[in-house]
Structure 1
Amino acid sequence: MKSTLIILGSIFTLFSFLPLIRTPLWWIRVMDFPRLHVAIFLSIILVAYASLFGVHGPIEIAMLTIWALAILNEIRYIYNFTPLAKVEALRTEQEKPNSSFTMMMANVRMVNKKYQKFLDVVLKEDPDMLVMNEPNQAWHDNVCEELDKRYPYSIKKPLENTYGMLFWSKFKLHDSEIRFNVEDDIPSFYTVVELPDGKKFDLFTVHPQPPRLMLNTETREAELLLVAKESKKTAYPSVVAGDLNDVAWSNTTKLFKEVSGMIDPRVGRGFYNTYNAHIPVFRYPLDHVFYDPLFRLVSLRRLSKFGSDHFPMTITLNYEPKHEEKQVHPHADIEDKQEAEELIQEGLEKGEERNREKQEQTKS
């Protein structure tokens, strides 16, 4: 029993400190996700060891101290997403927000066939805009007729590789583009949304690849940071939404916020975990929306599941440019910008390599 606790404590301590290494290696980056779980498990192990065997001598003191530091290391990442932290995104002070919009985001899971159940959620919520990640042609064919009736504007790119994307809007869209920023078969959308009162904002929807077995994260980092840079240069305030395949507390997400200057409505409010809907114990916030501080938050909700391994989310924002300075938002310093450029270059090179590999596989 004692040896088992020591081994488990050492493993979870390694899980805590490994992500401090700045590397795109998948087996390290995947450790960004279970910060809360590692903290809980390691706390249980520490308490169990101290209760059962006590603390005798400098070696055990050092071991338990390291375990405690590993727990604190995990907590410092997730603390901002608890109600104990200061709220980053302020709520609107208008009783009746007069320049607001509601957006729903949903990773539908390509192999999920519960089309009508998904439509029932959409029709019940009746959002002004809908972002769908992972739709293939079957999803397009099963929801398009109903959604086209309700949404006059859309951007569509269904794919069979789990990276398809569909977008519908009640509001006018301008300069819409389907972009392939890093990899030839992973799209992102860009459009300018015109609200009913004539105000406009830029919308970027993204769904980069996650870290998984033998797949590192260079292209994910490049995709997100390219969007961060682009959003900073546009003429209108920006919103970025979608399944980012990254957790809210990762260094990549932090760098994205610093480069873009956007804020996260979950800070100070909660995790709003969206994945995995099928496994209650292991859930992480993978579906995100970040936005310019010119907007104020009206509401943020996680919706009921509909068969996908992701929960859908809905957010309502109000355009309030007069109070921008009241919302403290991140800024990038020279080192942040340099790091972002290096990650973008590394990701673009890896993207070109993967594109060549896919082309060769297609030819063969």
Structure 2
Amino acid sequence: MQTTLIILGFIFTLFSFLPIIRTPLWWIRILDFPRLHVAILLSGILLSYLALYELDSTADYAMIMVWIAAIINEVRYVFNFTPVVNPEALKTKQKHPANAFTLMIANVRMVNDKYDKFKELVLQENPDMLIMNEPNHIWYENVRKEFEEKFPYSIKKPLENTYGMLFWSKFKLLNSEIRFLVEDDIPSFYTVVELPSGHKFDLFTVHPQPPRLMQNTETREAELLIVAKEAKKTPYPSIVAGDLNDVAWSRTTKLFKQISSMIDPRVGRGFYNTYNALIPLFRYPLDHVFYDQDFRLITLRRLGKFGSDHFPISISLNYEPQHESEQKHPVADLEEKEEAKEMIQEGLEKGEERNHEKSENHKS
């Protein structure tokens, strides 16, 4: 038993410190996800060891101190997403917000066939805008009639590779683009949304590849950071939303925030875990909304299941540029800008390599 605890302690300590390495290797980047899980499991190992065995050597004390350091290291990443911290995104003080809107984000899971259940949820929530990640042509055909009646504006790119995307809006859309920023078969959307008042904002929707077996994260990092730089430069205030396939506390997401100067409504409020809806013990915040400080938060909610492995998330914001200076926002320093530039270049090169491989495989 003692040996088992020591081995487990060593493994979870390794899980804690390995992600500090700045590398796109999938088997390291995937360890960004279970920070809280590792902290809890390692705490259990620590308490069990202290309860069962006496510390009778310098090596024992050293081991315990390393375990404690590993736990602290994990907690420092997720701490900002607890109510102990002051919220980063301020709530509106307007009793009747004049420029309010609701955005709903849902990774529908391509193989999920609960089309009616999803439509019922959307009609019940009645959002002003809806982002659907992973829809294929079957999904599109099953929601098209109801959603085209409800949402007069849309951007559509259903695909059979789990990276399809649909965007539905009650508000007028201008300059809409379907873009392939890094990989030829992974789309993202850009559009200018015009509110009923005439005010406009930029919306970027993304769904990059996750870290997975033998699949490193260069292209994910590049896509997110390209969007971050674009959102920073646009003439209108910006919102970036979608399934980012990254957790809110990762180095990549932090760098995204620094480069874009956007705020995260989760900070100081909670995790709002959206994945995995099918496995309660392993849930992470993968579906995100980041926005400029011109907006104030009204509500942020995780919605109910509808058959996907993701929970949908709904956010209501109010456009209040007059209060922009009251919300603190991240600012990138020179080192972070240089790091982002290098990661974008690395990701674009990797994207070209993958595009070439897919093209060759398609020819054969």
TM-score by length of 2: 1.00
Residues 101-122 of structure 1 show CA distances to partners (whole Å, capped at 9, x for unaligned) of: 1000000000000000000000
Corresponding residue for residue 164 of structure 2: 164
Corresponding residue for residue 208 of structure 1: 208
- How far apart, in 1, do the equivalents of 2:86 and 2:77 lie? 14
- How far apart, in 2, do the equivalents of 1:331 and 1:172 lie? 31
Counterpart of 1:233, as a letter, is K
- How far apart, in 2, do the equivalents of 1:224 and 1:265 lie? 18
What secondary structure sits across from 1:190 in the alignment?
Answer: strand
- How far apart, in 2, do the equivalents of 1:243 and 1:55 lie? 46
Structure 1 residue 85, shift from structure 2 partner? 0.9
What secondary structure sits across from 1:105 in the alignment?
Answer: strand
Counterpart mapping for 1:96-115 below 5 A: 96-115=96-115
- How far apart, in 2, do the equivalents of 1:32 and 1:296 lie? 29
Between the aligned residues of both structures, percent identity stands at 73
Corresponding residue for residue 325 of structure 1: 325
Structure 1 residue 88, shift from structure 2 partner? 0.2
Corresponding residue for residue 254 of structure 1: 254
Counterpart of 1:21, as a letter, is I
Residues 195-231 of structure 1 show CA distances to partners (whole Å, capped at 9, x for unaligned) of: 0000000000000000000000000000000000000
Structure 1 residue 56, shift from structure 2 partner? 1.4
Corresponding residue for residue 51 of structure 1: 51
- How far apart, in 2, do the equivalents of 1:54 and 1:127 lie? 58
For structure 2, which runs of at least 5 residues remain unmatched after alignment? none
- How far apart, in 1, do the equivalents of 2:335 and 2:325 lie? 24
TM-score by length of 1: 1.00
- How far apart, in 2, do the equivalents of 1:273 and 1:119 lie? 22
- How far apart, in 2, do the equivalents of 1:345 and 1:270 lie? 34
- How far apart, in 2, do the equivalents of 1:56 and 1:264 lie? 47
What secondary structure sits across from 2:331 in the alignment?
Answer: coil
Determine whether 1:183 maps to 2:191. no
Counterpart of 2:287, as a letter, is D
Corresponding residue for residue 143 of structure 2: 143
Structure 1 residue 324, shift from structure 2 partner? 1.1
Would you say how many aligned residue pairs link Structure 1 and Structure 2?
364
What secondary structure sits across from 2:322 in the alignment?
Answer: helix
Counterpart of 2:249, as a letter, is W
Counterpart mapping for 1:288-299 below 5 A: 288-299=288-299
Please, what is the CA RMSD of the aligned residues? 0.3
Counterpart of 2:15, as a letter, is F
Corresponding residue for residue 361 of structure 1: 361
Determine whether 1:117 maps to 2:120. no
What secondary structure sits across from 1:141 in the alignment?
Answer: helix
> Runs of at least 4 residues of structure 1 off by over 6 A?
none
- How far apart, in 2, do the equivalents of 1:56 and 1:353 lie? 55
Counterpart of 1:264, as a letter, is D
Counterpart mapping for 1:1-364 below 5 A: 1-364=1-364
Counterpart of 1:328, as a letter, is K
Counterpart of 1:162, as a letter, is T
